[in-house]
Structure 1
Amino acid sequence: MVTIEAFSRLVSGVYAAALTPQLWGPAVRDIHREMGGTVGTLGMAPDGTSSIIGDTTLPADALASYAQHYGRLDHVLTNVMKGPVGAVRTGSELVAPRRHSEFYSCWLRPNDMGDGLMVRLTGPPENYFFIVGAPPRTEFFDTPDRVKLMSGLIAHLQQALRTQDAVAPLPAGDGEPAGVLDVIRHGVILVGGDHLVINLNAAAERICRAGDGLCMRSGRFAAMNTAAEQELHGAIRNALTDGGSRVRRGRSLSCRRPSGVRPYVIHVLPYPRRDTDVHLGGQMAVVLIIDPENEPEPATELLQRLYHLTRSEAEIALQVMRGVDLKQTSEELSLSLSTVRTHLQHVFDKTDTHRQAELVRVLIALCP
């Protein structure tokens, strides 16, 4: 079973890669090694043909042969991309039944990918996917612990990809990272030495002003609880210098809130300096603050447009996302229970989902 420290390290790596795409390789490598796999791949298939974003161990000739020939025979990825967003698929389900195929014999097995775990992270237009591959063994790769770890990483990978896509169109060398990151709903703070705040986005400013566990003191980012403050300062120190060892590391932590609502989740990451950042001084850290209480839901109009839902179907989909049961939904929308069930089945069909949990994952992934 993965430890909390190991999981925090994996998550920190994922969010660091969201801001610096060159770090996807190390982040993906860390994940597949923690799972005991031999290959990790983050990719996208926008038009039915895949491309690799962060691959760790596949040699160049394997990638070339896939692009030239074997990609057309890839029944595994085809089935993953036809399935629901956020569902973990397994080698025992998708690979084992077709071990006599050319794709398995000539490409998967020679590249140590005769087993593994796969997940479709997003829908169109990007169609991101993530795969951890492993060689075929006596026991299948899909142990409960590995599936649980993969499932736990999905939401973080999805959020990191949304962050990356929001930042990607921005011009390189922008000296105001917080200004550009105002498009991100999570709080983002750029912190320098002595925990001094260099800049922050609008969401972070709202969080600090609320004074519900986090705040600003004399221009420094701080927590209101002593224990949380010590942990936060230690994480920032590690991201800046790690005690002078020159190995800068990220860390994740939580911060309880006096209001009693769910704690903030905080990821502290080293900020990768560029030559154009010399005017900002020494080393810096990026603090990402996630408020579990501030998870916006997609508008009914967006659901209608993306999945061709009717107004009633979209409203029922949002009720499911809020955790409202079908009986209460029928009362609130003045519809019979049988009508609600019929509409929900239409929602499943149109969103290519089969259970309410799958539907919730799809709806959460749509939040900008």
Structure 2
Amino acid sequence: MQQASVERFSYLIGGIYDCVIAPERWADILNEICAEFGFATGALSVASLTNMKAVVNAVSGSDLTEMTRNAIGYGADIIELWGGAERIRQYPLGEPIVQSQAVRQEIISGNRYYREWALPKGLFDAVAVGLVRDRMMVGNAIFSQHESAGAIDDAQVNGLRLLAPHIRRAVTISNLFDMKTVEATTFAATMEALTVGVVLADEESRIVYTNAAATAMLAAGDPIMTRHGRIAVESTTTSATLQSAVAQAARDEAALGQKGIGIAVPRPNGAPLVIHVLPLRRGHMRARLAQRAAAALFVASASGPPQMSHVALNQLYDLTPAEIRIFELICEGHTRDAISGLLGVSVATVKTHLLHVFEKTGCRRQVDLVRLAKSLTFPL
């Protein structure tokens, strides 16, 4: 298939962000993504790790009740179909994983879910994108390919790769709202009810609005503050990262990419926090919430243990999700052959990604990567 136009991508991304305040639109957006890239079905799901139940948030090309029933009845089989729980935990967030490339064909062919549900519907392959994976939940978007469409091609994978960070940001922030629709008339009341800090800022990062939680944070100067009239944090480097994300959100939300997702806020004391940036300028639904604001900043508690800062790796070195994941695995002591098995890619692909990591970071040896990783470790 051909690559989607810039205008079409911008439209899809705008629709994804509108789902933050109108979650009932997810099914429509999944329909449009499927239509754009030629997928037969799409599903956006979140599974709670506290009660081990799978919850389907939205689906395209299928009945919601049927999809929910299958997710529960075939839960273990679906996990096996993607290589098992351990393999799934290794897949890089935001990177499309093609099932037929990651898992051996004999495993797929012998899988109960594949034989009893997918194959009879003509769904012979799929691509998954990890959206969130922490101690509280795991979220994924999965798109299935009908046999009449042929093999999943590069245009489909590249299209999802461009949309993935925007879907990740929208899903992450939506969870802060508890997936409730936000109306313009009740926006302020909704923000005030949130326990996370919310700051609305213009394109220069000047504060337009703060909810009660954010007001208290500003008064304490922890973790957010104002510096030269702009929203900031104690670290000047992190402040620059935050302000850059806000400016990018105002200029072109489609180019925001991974910037502004889970910006780690190093703190001398207190629980670790992260900041998520949501563009507001474009889109009728978001723009009418606060006309002077270019972005909404959500200051929330971290949901995982200390780890390497993905934001720093992307901002400083322009590493892709796949390159970041290989960087992590190398620093954990895995060999290239082991990484190939964990991620379901060839050793040649691992070597190519690792070469890019060395080139982008300026490191020459793996020990240099380990040192760099330690310098970028923040509580996320």
Which TM-score band (shorter chain)? 0.5 to 0.7
Partner residue of 1:57?
61
User: Structure 1: which 5+ residue stretches go unaligned?
Assistant: 190-198, 211-231, 233-250, 256-263, 273-282, 326-340
CA distance in 1, matches of 2:25, 2:122: 23
1:99 deviates by: 2.2
Where 1:127 maps in the other structure, the secondary structure is: strand
1:165 deviates by: 1.7
Q: CA 1:30–1:49 in structure 2 vs 1: closer, same or farther (change >3 Å)? A: same
Partner residue of 1:127?
138
Partner residue of 2:30?
28
CA distance in 1, matches of 2:167, 2:283: 16
CA distance in 2, matches of 1:267, 1:119: 27
Q: CA 1:96–1:185 in structure 2 vs 1: closer, same or farther (change >3 Å)? A: farther
RMSD (CA atoms): 5.3
2:99–2:125 Cα contact (<8 Å) kept: yes
CA distance in 1, matches of 2:143, 2:312: 34
Partner residue of 1:222?
none
Partner residue of 2:273?
none
CA distance in 2, matches of 1:61, 1:170: 20
Q: How does 1:39-50 map to 2 (within 5 A)?
A: 39-47=41-49, 48-50=52-54
CA distance in 2, matches of 1:320, 1:253: 20
Which of 85, 101, 105 aligns to 1:93? It is: 101
Q: Are positions 1:157 and 2:167 aligned together? A: yes
Q: CA 1:286–1:9 in structure 2 vs 1: closer, same or farther (change >3 Å)? A: farther
Where 1:121 maps in the other structure, the secondary structure is: strand
2:55–2:68 Cα contact (<8 Å) kept: no
CA distance in 2, matches of 1:171, 1:20: 5
Give deviations 1:18-74, integer Å, cap 9, x for gaps. 111111111111111111111110001223542211112222563254145322211
CA distance in 1, matches of 2:55, 2:147: 24
Partner residue of 1:2?
4
1:306 deviates by: 0.8
Q: CA 1:157–1:60 in structure 2 vs 1: closer, same or farther (change >3 Å)? A: closer
User: Structure 2: which 5+ residue stretches go unaligned?
Assistant: 215-225, 231-249, 257-277, 319-326, 336-341, 344-349, 358-368
CA distance in 2, matches of 1:81, 1:9: 31
1:91–1:117 Cα contact (<8 Å) kept: yes
2:199–2:210 Cα contact (<8 Å) kept: no
2:83–2:103 Cα contact (<8 Å) kept: no
Where 1:130 maps in the other structure, the secondary structure is: strand
1:130 deviates by: 0.4
Q: CA 1:322–1:21 in structure 2 vs 1: closer, same or farther (change >3 Å)? A: closer
Partner residue of 1:83?
90
Q: Which moved more, 1:93-102 or 1:45-54?
A: 93-102
Q: CA 1:267–1:118 in structure 2 vs 1: closer, same or farther (change >3 Å)? A: farther
Please report the TM-score for the alignment, with normalisation by the length of structure 1. 0.56
Larger relative contact order (Cα-Cα within 8 Å, sequence gap ≥ 6): 2
Q: CA 1:63–1:175 in structure 2 vs 1: closer, same or farther (change >3 Å)? A: closer
Q: CA 1:61–1:93 in structure 2 vs 1: closer, same or farther (change >3 Å)? A: same
- In our comparison, the structure showing a higher alpha carbon Rg is 1
Partner residue of 2:197?
183
Give 2:99's aligned amino acid.
Answer: G
- Aligned identity (percent) is 13
CA distance in 1, matches of 2:255, 2:129: 27
1:367 deviates by: 9.6
CA distance in 2, matches of 1:183, 1:139: 47
1:116–1:134 Cα contact (<8 Å) kept: yes
CA distance in 2, matches of 1:185, 1:347: 40
Give 1:12's aligned amino acid.
Answer: G
Where 2:70 maps in the other structure, the secondary structure is: helix
Q: CA 1:104–1:152 in structure 2 vs 1: closer, same or farther (change >3 Å)? A: same
Where 1:268 maps in the other structure, the secondary structure is: coil
1:347 deviates by: 8.1
